[in-house]
Amino acid sequence: MSIDVTTKVPPMSSLSLSRRTFLAVAALGGLEAVLTACTSSSSPVVVTTTVTPGDPVSSAGVAPSSAAGAAPSSAAASSGAAPASGAVSSGAPAASTPPVTASPTTTAAPTGKPVHVRLYQGDGKTYGVGLPIIVYMSKVITDAKAFVKATTVKVNGTVIQGAWYFQKSAIYSGYPMEAHYRPQTYWPAHAAISLDLPIKNVSAGKGLLFDDSLTLSIKTGAANITMVDGATERLVTTSDGLVKFNFPVSLGKASTPTFNGTKVIMERAKLERMIGTTPGDEYDLEVPWSCRLTNSGEFIHAASWNGGNIGQRSTSNGCTNLNVDAAKQFFDFALIGDVAVYKNTGGGDMPVWDGYGDWNLSWAEWSRGGAVSTS
C-alpha cells in the first residue's frame, strides 16, 4: 500500500528553503517543482511524493536519506544541484528498473590435430599463364568445404571463379597432400593475381584443423605457348600470339614414348643430372639447358649426342631433344608456368599427378575436387 504525501511549497517571495530541505525534495524527484517555485512570484507549488507505509518519514513528509543529516558531496553542494546518484539514498521505490545486461557467452576454441599449409609460389614473382596456385598440406585432409569457401582469388582486382583440385604429393617431406587452384582456361597474360586464404582454425575434416592462413600476390608474364608435334618433329613457340621459335626436335622412341597432352614447365636448370638404369641403356649425364615437364623425368633440353636424329625421328628416352643453340634460346626465354602442348607422340596422355597436368582434365572433373570432395 502506498500513501501520497502532499507538500505545499509557498511562493519563493515568502519562503526561504534551507539547503537540507532543498536537497531532500530534489532527492525525491521534486527538483523540477522547486525550480518552478523559484521562478514564480505568487503561486504556491504542490509537491506530491508517494511513500510506502513502514518507511521512515521525516517531519517534512519525505523519507530521510540512509545517512540522514549528512552533508552532500562537495561537488553537489557547490553547484546547488542534486547530489550524484548514490550520494543520497531514499527509502522510496526506485523511479525505474535498471536494464538487465545479458552475461557474455563464450565459445570453446576449435580443437584438432594441426594441418600446416605452405605455398609453392612466392610473392612478387612472375610465372607463366599455365601454372596453378599450389598449396602443400602437412596432413591428408578429409574435408575441403571450409577451405574452398574461405578462398578468394582476384585477377587485376576482380574476383574470379576457379576451382581447387586435391591430390597426393611427394614433393616436400612431411607434406603428403597438395591442392591446385586454376581458372577454367589459362590465366590472362600480364596480369596481377592475388590469393586470400584465411583458414587458421578452420576444419580440415574430423579431428583436423588448419593452423595457419595464406596470402599470395604474383604476376603472369606473356602467354608463351609451345606446341610440339611428333608427326613433324617440330617445336613451335608463340608469345602473346606471335611466333618466337620453330625448332626441330626428337621425342621419345617407341619403348619410351613422350606423353601427349598439356604440360607446364616446372623447373629450369642450366645443368641437370640425368641417370638411366635400363640394362643396355645406362647413362649418367650433366645435361645443359634443361626445362622439366613431369615428375617422372620428361625435359626439354639440349642433346648434342643426338644431333643426327633431331628433326628426323624420335629416338630419346622420353625427353624433347633440341640442338644445343636452340635449347639455350628456349631455356633463356622460358618461364616456370609456361605451357607446352604435345600431340602425335605415340605415348599416352600425361597423368594429372605427374607434374602440373592440371589442364588435361575437363572442367567438370576438375571442379569435383579430386581426392577430396569440394561440394
Ordered DSSP codes for 52-65 = -TTS---TTSSPPP
Residue 364: what are its φ and ψ, rounded to 5°? -65, -45
Strand order in the sheet with 152-155: 126-127, 214-220, 192-197, 152-155, 158-159
Which residues neighbour 237 within 8 Å (Cβ) at sequence distance 6 or greater?
Answer: 224, 225, 226, 227, 243, 244, 245, 246, 330, 333
Grid look-up 624420335 returns 314
Say which of 38, 180, 291, 319 is annotated catalytic.
319
CB-CB contact of 28 with 49 (8 Å): yes
List C-alpha distances in Å: 267 to 39, 104, 272. Answer: 93, 54, 10
User: Residue 124: what residue type?
Assistant: G
Q: Which of 251, 233, 247 is nearest to 317 (CA)?
A: 251
DSSP secondary structure letter of residue 310: T
Half-sphere exposure of 197 (CA within 13 A, CB side): 26
Report the alpha-carbon distance of residue 122 to residue 131 in Å, rounded: 13
Which residues neighbour 311 within 8 Å (Cβ) at sequence distance 6 or greater?
Answer: 233, 234, 248, 249, 250
Grid look-up 576449435 returns 110
Report the alpha-carbon distance of residue 202 to residue 242 in Å, rounded: 46
User: Residue 231: what residue type?
Assistant: A
User: Residue 13: what residue type?
Assistant: S
β-strand 126-127 against 214-220: which pairing, if any?
A: parallel
Active site residue 319: yes
Report the alpha-carbon distance of residue 146 to residue 375 in Å, rounded: 10
Residue 145: what are its φ and ψ, rounded to 5°? -60, -45
Q: Which residues are marked as active site?
A: 301, 319
